[in-house]
Every structure is written in C-alpha cells, then in structure tokens.
Amino acid sequence: MPAIQIIGDGCAGLSLAARARELPDHQLTLIVPEGAPRQQEHIWGFWHLPILNTAAGLSHCSWKNWQVVTNEKTVVLTSINYPYHAIYRSRWTSMCKELAIAHGVKIVSQSKVASDQKAQILDTRPQPVPHGQLMQHFIGWEVLAKSGSFNPSVATMMDFRCDQSRGIHFIYVLPFSDSEALVESTMFSCDREPDEFFEKAILDYLKLCHSKQVVSVKRTEKGAIPMGLLERSDVSVVGLGGNGGAIKPSSGYAFYFIQKQISVAILSAQTKNKLMKITSPHKNIDLWMDQMFVKVLKEWPAVTPHIFIQLADALSGDEFALFMSGEACWRLRLKVIFSMPKWIFIRSFIQSLYSNFLKFKIGA
Ligand SMILES: Cc1cc2nc3c(=O)[nH]c(=O)nc-3n(C[C@H](O)[C@H](O)[C@H](O)COP(=O)(O)OP(=O)(O)OC[C@H]3O[C@@H](n4cnc5c(N)ncnc54)[C@H](O)[C@@H]3O)c2cc1C
C-alpha cells in the first residue's frame, strides 16, 4: 500500500489527513513536528465557495455584506451567493483530527516516526522568511463592548481611517453580534512595528471612529503572513499548504487555496500510479497579477487606500468574492485591471519587463 507522510499538524496537514477516506489505497501518517511554536487560536475568514461547505457549516459567523472604508468613501458590497465566513482554527482542526483518526491515519510525533524510504513525504512546515520580504503583520483583539457598538450585518474588510504614518495600515472588523467583534490592526510592511502600535490602533479605532468602549478583551491573535511566494530551501521534499505556494500573495488568504490544493492532490492520487501530485492552487496569470500588485504596494504605499476602494467600487459582491478566491474569469480580471490607477501599473509593468530582460541577459 503506498505510504504518504505529512509533516505538520496545521491547516494543510490536518485538512488532508481528514480526507483519508477518499484515499483507501494509501496509508497516511501525520507527523507532529518538533521545535514548532505553540499553535495559537485564530479565525480563518473565507468566502463560501462550493468546496467549503463543511467549513461553512462549522463557521462561527457569516456576513452577506462587507465594506471597504477610506477617509473619503465607504463601499458596501453584498453577496448572497458567496457570503464571508469566519471559523475558529480549533473548530476546524479538531474536526479534521477526529476524521483523520476515524479513517485510520496514524498521528505520531517526529521523534517516534519510523523511517520509510518508500513513503512520499509532504512538508507543511513554513520556510524561513528572507530579509526585505513584504509581509502582512497584524494583531487582533476579540472584544466585548457595550450593546449596540457594532453592526453585525456588515463585516469591515479594510478601514483605512487609522494611523498611516508608518506605512500601509488598515483595520479589519468581524462583528459577531452588536457587542462582540474581532478587531484587527493590519500592516503591509517589511519590518514589524512593535505590538503597542497595533494595540493603540485598535483602541483608537474603537474609541475615535465609533465611540465604542471596550468592556473586555476576550482573546488576542497575532500573525505575520508573507505576501509573496517564498523560495523553498529543500526542493527534494514536496511542500504542501503555505509551504506549497498556497498563500495568495496579494492578500495572505490561504484557507480556501489549501482546500483547493488538497482536492486536486487527492484526485491525482486516485489515479493508477497512486502518487500524490501537489500543484499550485493559483493560476499563473493570477500569480503574475499579484506580483505586479504587491510591487505597486511596496513602491507606492500611499495609493493603497485608493486602489482598494476603487477595486471595491468597480466590482459586485459576487465578483469581489470570486476575485479574492482566485476564481476570476478573464472578463473579471480585465474589470479589475481597468479599475486600477493606470500610470502606476504601466510603470510597474515596464520595470518588471526590464528587470526580467536584464536577468535573462545576465543569465544567458
Ligand atoms: C493568525 C493567522 C490568521 C490567518 N487568517 C487567515 C484568514 O483569515 N484567512 C485565510 O485564508 N488565511 C489566513 N491565514 C493564513 C493561512 O490560512 C494560515 O497560515 C494557515 O494556517 C496555513 O496552513 P499551513 O498548514 O500551511 O500552515 P500551519 O497551519 O501554520 O501549519 C504549519 C505546520 O508547521 C509547524 N511549524 C511551524 N513552524 C515550525 C517550526 N519553526 N519548526 C517546526 N515546525 C513548525 C506547525 O506546528 C504546523 O504543524 C492566517 C494565518 C495566521 C498565522
């Protein structure tokens, strides 16, 4: 029976292990890595596309409306077909673990794993982040405030009415009720600001923008997600999940892309040779567009609020959800391109062509 060893018990490792029933001809082993930092509780947000039915069913809350806000404008988008959902990490991983065990997956710690030369190894551990990498840094607080503080029918994807003095900065709000919400301060930057910067931004936002008094902070989360594909240090081992290129560079979203990558991988292993093939869940054209987008964010940070509000303004709720989930068709991609500030993107495009040309000349 072909053996598959999955290193890592995070989102990708457990999501694959949970689907062992679809791989009855394989023996799956999930290896809990040594030296890993303690996994913290956090929320995964995603738009409900068909392959996410199970996750949507387990989600804590969902919104048909979401907004992007700048000092000048607010755009509210609505989607009945693809609402935005929030699921707790522990809810998803516990369900996956239960399913994995029920379907015969062995879960072992790295020190106890027996060497199997023939096993296919899939590694979900993250790569080291190189210096100068643009990252999405954030701190989130799940807060309890006075009743009537939040509007639970609208999630806030980005609110730029916060301190912009240190780079691209916005507030993300998931209101679970009129008194409870996850409020996150997020920066797109290479270097991380101290925790106090994010915490002050959350408090300022709650007090100044909406006169909300925090009664208590129920839970905090903190993270840093690379906005770009990282080079893999060991190419002899196949990467999966974030380590397999699943994170969308322009947004840091990965939950949907991980599930998509796993669905394709399972199909590949059900074929005759039984080998699991891991492919990128992103189309090349989307990766190229993301690369241009991230380049623009890095070089022209001041225009970011304008870019996002223009994007939200140009699209319907369904289109926004599909674009963010990497499911855009050509017509939608063109709509996105035409909503962007032309001269900046044209300049970026020419620069990118030129640097690729130089690389080619030097390499040749
Ligand atoms: C706080 C946070 C919030 C996020 N929110 C969203 C969201 O709302 N929507 C979305 O789509 N995506 C979100 N993401 C991005 C992405 O979905 C997650 O990072 C997701 O967990 C990636 O899954 P993974 O299996 O690739 O990595 P992980 O779930 O991080 O699993 C990696 C595995 O490697 C192990 N590991 C980690 N570091 C080491 C180490 N140094 N040595 C050894 N082992 C190690 C871990 O223990 C784990 O077993 C978020 C990420 C974070 C960190």
How far is CA 273 from its chain centroid?
Answer: 32
CB 91 within 8 A of CB 7: no
Domain chopping of the chain, boundaries? 3-60+88-127+230-269, 135-226, 284-363
Q: Which residues neighbour 47 within 8 Å (Cβ) at sequence distance 6 or greater? A: 79, 82, 83, 84, 85, 256, 321, 322, 324, 325
Query: Is 221 close to ligand 1, i.e. is its CB under 6 Å away?
Result: yes
Ligand 1, closest atom to CA 15?
A: 25
192-199 — which CB contacts under 8 Å span 24+ positions? 192/135, 192/137, 192/224, 193/137, 193/166, 195/139, 195/222, 197/163, 197/166, 198/137, 198/138, 198/139, 199/139, 199/141
What's the CA-to-centroid distance between 58 and ligand 1, angstroms? 19
Q: pLDDT value at position 114? A: 80
Q: State in Å: Cα 126 to ligand 1 middle.
A: 8
How open is the CA angle 260-76-193, to the nearest 5 degrees? 70
Mutate to test the pocket of ligand 1, among 9, 122, 124 (most ligand atoms within 8 A of CB): 124
Instruction: Evaluate: CB of 125 within 6 angstroms of ligand 1.
Output: yes
Atom 28 (ligand 1): residue with closest C-alpha? 10
Q: Which CATH class is domain 135-226?
A: alpha beta
CA distance linking residue 275 with residue 267, whole number of Å: 10
Ligand 1 atom 53: the closest Cα is on which residue? 223
For every one of its 364 residues, what pLDDT tens digit does the chain have, with 9 covering 90 and above? 899 999 999 999 999 999 999 999 999 999 999 999 999 999 999 999 999 999 999 999 999 999 999 999 999 999 999 999 999 999 999 999 999 999 999 999 998 888 788 899 999 999 999 999 999 999 999 999 988 899 999 999 999 999 999 999 999 999 999 999 999 999 999 999 999 999 999 999 998 766 777 789 999 999 999 999 888 878 888 999 999 999 999 999 999 999 999 999 999 999 877 889 999 999 999 999 999 999 999 988 999 999 999 999 999 999 999 999 999 999 999 999 999 888 787 877 787 777 666 666 665 5
CATH of domain 3-60+88-127+230-269: 3.50.50.60
Cβ of 84 below 6 Å from ligand 1? no
* Residues in contact with 137: Cβ distance below 8 Å, sequence separation at least 6, in sequence order: 186, 187, 188, 189, 192, 193, 198, 223, 224
Beta carbons within 10 angstroms of residue 243's beta carbon: 23
Cβ neighbours of residue 320 closer than 8 Å, sequence gap 6 or more: 77, 79, 311, 312
For ligand 1, the distance from its centroid to the CA atom of residue 185, given in whole angstroms, is: 19
Predicted local confidence at residue 275, as pLDDT: 86
Residue nearest to atom 31 of ligand 1 (CA): 10
pLDDT of residue 265: 97
Distance (angstroms) between ligand 1 centre and the Cα of 33 equals 13
Closest CA to 182 of 192, 174, 190: 174
Contact assessment for residue 97 and residue 14, using Cβ atoms and an 8 Å cutoff: yes
In order of 43, 51, 100, 101, the CA distances from 91 in angstroms are 10, 18, 14, 16
| Predicted local distance difference test score (pLDDT) of residue 48 | 98
